[in-house]
Every structure is written in C-alpha cells, then in structure tokens.
Structure 1
C-alpha cells in the first residue's frame, strides 16, 4: 500500500468526490471515512496506520479545530490537511497554529487538492492562497481582527499585536518589529488578554474559534 489517507467529513458527497480523486492517484489510498473528530480518535486508538488525515472544520460531536488541537498533542507525527468551505486567511492561520500541515478550500480544483496531498505526504506544507480580491479587499468590516477590535474595544496597536501573536511570533521579535520595548509588548499582551477574558494563546484560539466571524 502507498500513502494512506483518512477522511473526516460528515458530507457523503464530499467523501465520494475525494474517493474519486484518490482513485486517479495510484500511490494513494483512502483507508477510511469518519463522520466526526471523535470517530477519528477511536480509529487511531486502534493503531490503524494513517499517513495523512484530510478533515473538515464543521463536524458534529467534535469539530475540526478541536480535533487538530488534540492530534497536535497526542499524534504529532500524523500529517493533517484541512479541507474547508471557509477558506480565509484568518481561518488558515488558526489551523496552522493548531498544527495543520495544510489547508485547501472546498472550491479548489482537483489539481490543487492532488498537489496538496502530495506535498503534505512528503513532509511539506501546503496552504492554498486566498486568491480572490473580494476576500482580500472586502473592507475592514469583514476582517476577523477588525471584528474583534470593535467587539472588545481593542486599539489598532492591540489588533496588530494579536495578529503577530497568532503567527506565533515571540515577544522579543514583536518588540523589534514594532520598534517597542519587550516590556511594552508584555503590557499590551496582558491588556489584550484581559479585554478578551482569556489567559493565554490557547484561550485566544478558543475565543476565535467560537467567534461569529469565523
């Protein structure tokens, strides 16, 4: 057997489409189709061999982001690719921070999906760019960070720092990038977490996952 692929998506049509694509790739095999994150965990706990997990974000019982967080802790060697209809820069950023090796929109062409599977299975990363100008330039109103800024009364500087935090940039590097002292960044970070009522990066990721803008 070549590269084993496990799919986690609660849509039968998507699973059928993925199966058809993989049939055209001789070195890849779909070994299972799970309906939710909990089924994936049960499958892995039986020591079934999986090289790449392709998962949706919106699933019942245990969604994709919850699953990514769990897998990053328990099965860090498992390669994961998100296949989602919500293809935005902020969503990809969050998935990357949760340990995903790649992200492809459900509106992607077959070639993009195939390329992503090949790159990820070989140990690389593949995050499909958001190419539509509408998604990039749809105004500050449709930007996740701006929604957070408005809802939680964040300053522009605090909003900027949130983006850097989510990119996993350390305090020292943030300070250098913004020409501020590390102490000032630590103060901003504390104020941001207080406003958002979270204690750390995990709490921030959880808040964004539950945010209506996602």
Structure 2
C-alpha cells in the first residue's frame, strides 16, 4: 500500500519541486498540495486517508495559523497523522519546541531536498528523523541547556510578553490592559529576567516556540524589530 502524503508550503516553486521529486517514487503518492493552513486543513478534511503531512513551519495568511499553533492543531485533530516539518528556521530553541510537541521528523530547507524521502518514510514508520543541519542545531541546544520554560511566569507576565511579541509597545499594552506604562515595563523586565532573555529577538523566539505568536509574524518581520 502506497504512502499517502499531503504537502503544505507557501513557496509555489518549492512546493512544485517537492511534488515533482516525489512523483518519481513508486510507493509514495502526493494526495494534495496546500499553500497555507486553511488549504491544508481543507485537504485533510476531504481526503479519507492521509498518512503523512509535510508542512512548512512558517506559512502566513492561513486561518489555522502556523508554527507551533498549527502543529498542535494537527496533533489534536488528526492523532493518527504523521507530521514532518520542513523549515528554514535556524533557531535551536524553535527546533526544540517542535520536538516538544511530539514532532520527531524535521528537515531543514538548507539540506538537500532528496532527504525528504527518508524523512517521509521515517515518519510513516513512526521513527524519528532529523536532517543533518537540524541535528546539528538540536545538539547545540542540548549542549547549551536550551531555553528555560515559562513555568515561573505569572499570567500577567505571559500576557505582556505575548502582546509585546505581537508588536505592541509598552505604552500600548498598558492602554489595552489598564495598567501604567511603568507596571507593564516592570512585568516585561521581570519575565525576561526569569527566562534569561536578552532582548527583543529572544522575546520573539520565546513567544514563537511557545505558540504565543505565529511563526510567520516573526519570520516575516511583522513584529520583529525594536520597540519600547
């Protein structure tokens, strides 16, 4: 029985290239292609039997989000579906967060595309598979202890980090939640200290890896940058 695969990526050329490559493999069938999470979920709802989904980590505009948010949704809604993440993300924090939501097959876009085939086969068999670049980055994270979790954060500190990562300034957050600028700033700095974060870039990475913001917001610069 052939392996039924659905692929999702917002880059048409890459998606077409992967489709063409897999078309030459006799026992792998591409059951559908999607350019965002909306199309992906619609495909999965229509297809009776899909064994493996290959999805980009960062895909904007979809109704179901992307990144960790999408991976969690796929895991909940389709528990038997095997997930493969294809990503250009180079953050060891983010890669570890993908593993933390029980996705054990990750392929870097910087690695040769022919590695997609063994990744799909590993996922189908229920095995782990990391492409060489992903494995290197994950080893770095393990050696460095990785990022701390958010268990020590208060609800308000988490709220402040989320809105800050979404692009709101400290003053705008204060207006939205009814707190003074000074109070919000104190909560932001307290959260950063507890988590060992050293600036905006690490705040965005933390927010993305914990599903507080969408991957496309960060990777495409919708919220990246310095604000006060």
Taking structure 1 as the reference length, the TM-score comes to: 0.64
Partner of 1:163: 147
Matched, 1:97 2:100: yes
Matched, 1:194 2:178: no
Match of 2:210 among 164, 186, 205: 205
- Contact 2:6–2:32 at 8 Å: present in 1 too? yes
Partners of 1:81 and 1:131 lie apart in 2 by 13
1:171-182 equivalence runs, <5 A? none
Count of residue correspondences: 166
Shift, 1:31, TM fit: 0.9
Match of 1:119 among 103, 118, 122: 122
Partner of 2:171: none
3-state SS of the aligned residue for 2:133?
Answer: coil
Matched, 1:80 2:83: yes
- Between stretches 32-41 and 43-52, larger displacement belongs to 43-52
Shift, 1:109, TM fit: 1.2
Partners of 1:204 and 1:40 lie apart in 2 by 21
Taking structure 2 as the reference length, the TM-score comes to: 0.60
Higher relative contact order, chain-length normalized (CA < 8 Å, sep 6+): 2
Matched, 1:44 2:44: yes
Alpha carbons of structure 1 residues 72 and 120: separation in structure 2 relative to 1, 3 Å: same
Alpha carbons of structure 1 residues 111 and 34: separation in structure 2 relative to 1, 3 Å: closer
3-state SS of the aligned residue for 2:71?
Answer: helix
Partners of 1:2 and 1:131 lie apart in 2 by 27
Partner of 1:58: 58
- Contact 1:79–1:101 at 8 Å: present in 2 too? no
Partners of 1:31 and 1:8 lie apart in 2 by 11
Alpha carbons of structure 1 residues 75 and 207: separation in structure 2 relative to 1, 3 Å: same
Stretches of structure 1 that go unaligned for 5 or more consecutive residues are 137-142, 145-158, 167-188
Shift, 1:29, TM fit: 0.9
Shift, 1:27, TM fit: 0.8
Stretches of structure 2 that go unaligned for 5 or more consecutive residues are 160-206, 219-223
Q: Considering only aligned residues, what root-mean-square deviation do their CA atoms show, in Å?
A: 3.6
Shift, 1:71, TM fit: 1.1
Alpha carbons of structure 1 residues 204 and 112: separation in structure 2 relative to 1, 3 Å: closer
